[in-house]
Amino acid sequence: MTADPDQPLRLMAVHAHPDDESSKGAASMARYVAEGVEVMVVTCTGGERGDILNPAMQDNPEVLRDMPEVRRREMADAVRILGVKHEWLGFVDSGLPEGDPVPPLPEGCFALEPLEVAAEPLVRVVRSFRPHVMTTYDENGGYPHPDHIMTHRVSVEAYHAAGDPDRYPGTGQPWQPLKLYYNGGFSHDRLTALHEGMLESGLESPFQEWLERRGDRPDRPVHCRVRCADFFEVRDRALLAHRTQIDPNGWFFAASRELQAKVWPTEDFELAHSFVPVELPEDDLFAGIRQNAEAFGAGGSK
């Protein structure tokens, strides 16, 4: 049984800052867009407190004058390149506190919002867009940025609450997403594959130091590997649209797309929850949904 073509599948990716969508799962999103899936990126904050990470942009007067507006324009470019829909939740970037002792988070920032206040606009967007699948970060945020951890919390809250008619009244008709995934990152196995692939090609690898810093910390589980090497070029263009954040000469682009396609042609995801039967491992975020489309009304009703 296949999904009703009159009811397209829908995927929602929830991220903390502009540029996160292009570095985490972007090639998979581009693949699904090409297949006719409706894809929406939700960005929780405006990235107002992000540093300028591209050396070529650090003295740019326009950036220094109005960083938030520049990042909004960068996000619009990335959205156009990926072919996705986009919503801002409108919260204020918390920044990444550094120092000894670590300073307190700034008043009014995303990470300090009460959970139900922060989740309410996401519940509203979920009920409006009606995704079958949601992706976000694990409980550690992928890395421990306070906005990434808060994004995990609000995503899990919205995923479970959006289908309950008694929760978040006034935010639209209930809609229950069917699967929730956490984005995979640069696991030990992926870093090793890239490192060894570069050495075998006679290239200097930037990944040895990263592997040493990472140590023997265990990888997160991988339940779904989406083959998307044909869309690495789209991912890279979307990344480069975030000109203040992405150095085109940086480590992310050290390995060619051809090498990446050879040694690690997938983007990887951890299945956090599913309302449909699953058979692991998977190669499709919609596995179990395509096959049960009629039973779920093409998704969303348990």
* pTM metric for this prediction: 0.94
Report whether 46 contacts 88 (CB < 8 A): yes
Please give the DSSP secondary-structure letter assigned to residue 47: -
Helix 146-161 and helix 115-129: axis angle, to 10°? Answer: 60
Q: Tell me the mean pLDDT in the region 193-208.
A: 95
Residue 1 has pLDDT above 60, yes or no: no
Structure tokens at 179: 């699967």
Alpha helices in the chain (DSSP H): 20-23, 26-34, 61-65, 67-82, 115-129, 146-161, 188-200, 207-214, 232-241, 257-263
Structure tokens at 124: 């509203």
φ, ψ dihedrals at 180, nearest 5°? -130, 125
Q: Tell me the mean pLDDT in the region 202-208.
A: 93
Q: Which among 280, 286, 290, 285 is positioned nearest to 223, based on CA atoms?
A: 280
How buried is 236 (Cβ within 10 angstroms: 0-12 exposed, 13-18 middle, 19+ buried)? Answer: buried
Share of the chain above pLDDT 70, in %: 95
Strand partners, 270: 182
Query: For 146-199, how does the pLDDT look when each residue is reduced to its tens digit (9 = 90+)?
Result: 999 999 999 999 999 999 999 999 999 999 999 999 999 999 999 999 999 999
Structure tokens at 281: 């491992």
Is domain 10-185+220-274 in CATH 3.40.50.10320, yes or no?
yes
* Boundaries of every domain in the chain: 10-185+220-274
Please give the DSSP secondary-structure letter assigned to residue 136: E
How buried is 192 (Cβ within 10 angstroms: 0-12 exposed, 13-18 middle, 19+ buried)? Answer: middle
Query: For 61-97, how does the pLDDT look when each residue is reduced to its tens digit (9 = 90+)?
Result: 888 788 899 999 999 999 999 999 999 999 999 999 8
